Amino acid sequence: MSDYAYDEMPVLSLRGITRTYMQGEEELRIFAGADLDVWRGEIVALVGPSGAGKSSLLHIAGLLEAPNAGQVWIGGRDCVALSDARRTAVRRSEVGFVYQFHNLLPEFSAVENVILPQMIAGVSRREAHGHAMDLLGRMGLAQRAEHRPAELSGGEQQRVAIARALANHPGILLADEPTGNLDPKTARMVFGELMNICRSEGVAAIIATHNLDLASHMDRVVLLHEGILHEGTDLAAAYQSL
């Protein structure tokens, strides 16, 4: 469990999130008033069957997608009510993303992939390089910093992607099946490093995963089923029964 006391404002708060899509003439309701609070240093597992909407929920939480109704509070602001430009600024400074596929820029080295988002945010190249090397070192990749993605293993590529997501000191990390494309041993290693750096930096995280073993090591497990977020102690059994 996180050592951070829950006596402050949540880093992320979702309130009454509703999302619908049109499939032909039929309206499909993905969420029906979903609520979730995530606190500094807390790591939350998001589980649920395929197609339940886990990725959509992460996209809404990260301001990549707008809900039909509801509020997304980040840093004490309802970001749904902000302009596009201000939402982009919040996303750039407050949110880090990690996906199942690393999405690294193939023409750049590992360290350059971690430098670039910092420079886009206005950090000098010298400062960005120092921070990138620190992050890569903490991920066990200092000796691989000058290698391009094609020269790295799958686990190394994903660790670079995690370092990149953390480069701008986000308050919250959103990870969508970050170990889903890795073998079990590598998945445990990458997940362990992700957990360690989130804990040491006080970064809140929501990690969507089908891996219930990894989910059991997180602070909380939240089950997304039929548009509702469920919390409790026996969610693993409930998920397996779906």
What tens digit of pLDDT does each residue of 71-87 get? 999 988 899 888 999 99
Per-residue pLDDT band at 236 (split at 50, 70, 90): low
Distance CA 185, CA 188 (A): 5
Distance CA 137, CA 200 (A): 14
21-52-19-59 Cα dihedral, nearest 10 degrees: -110
Per-residue pLDDT band at 5 (split at 50, 70, 90): very low
Task: Give the pLDDT mean for 135-152.
Answer: 92
Q: Is the pLDDT reported for residue 235 higher than 80?
A: no
Mean confidence (pLDDT) of the chain: 86
Per-residue pLDDT band at 6 (split at 50, 70, 90): very low
Beta bridge partners of 225: 228
* Greatest C-alpha distance within the chain: 55
**Angle between the N-to-C axes of helices 184-201 and 154-165, in degrees from 0 to 180, rounded to the nearest 10:** 20
What tens digit of pLDDT does each residue of 82-119 get? 899 999 888 888 999 988 777 899 999 999 999 999 99
Structural tokens at position 167: 């480069």
The arrangement of strands across the sheet holding 204-208 comes to 95-98, 172-176, 204-208, 43-47, 220-225, 228-231
- Domain 12-240 is found in CATH 3.40.50.300: yes
DSSP string for residues in 98-109: E-SS----TTS-
Closest CA to 44 of 68, 64, 14: 14
- Residue 124 gets which letter from DSSP? -
164-195: b (≥16 Cβ within 10 Å) or e: bbbbbebbbbbbbbbbebbeeebbbbbbebbb
What tens digit of pLDDT does each residue of 186-219 get? 788 888 888 888 888 889 999 998 888 888 889 9
Per-residue pLDDT band at 4 (split at 50, 70, 90): very low
Closest CA to 207 of 227, 188, 222: 222
**What percent of the chain is modeled with pLDDT above 90?**
43
- Cβ atoms 139, 195 nearer than 8 A: no
Task: Give the pLDDT mean for 168-186.
Answer: 86
Domain regions of the chain by residue span: 12-240
pLDDT, residue 215, reads 87
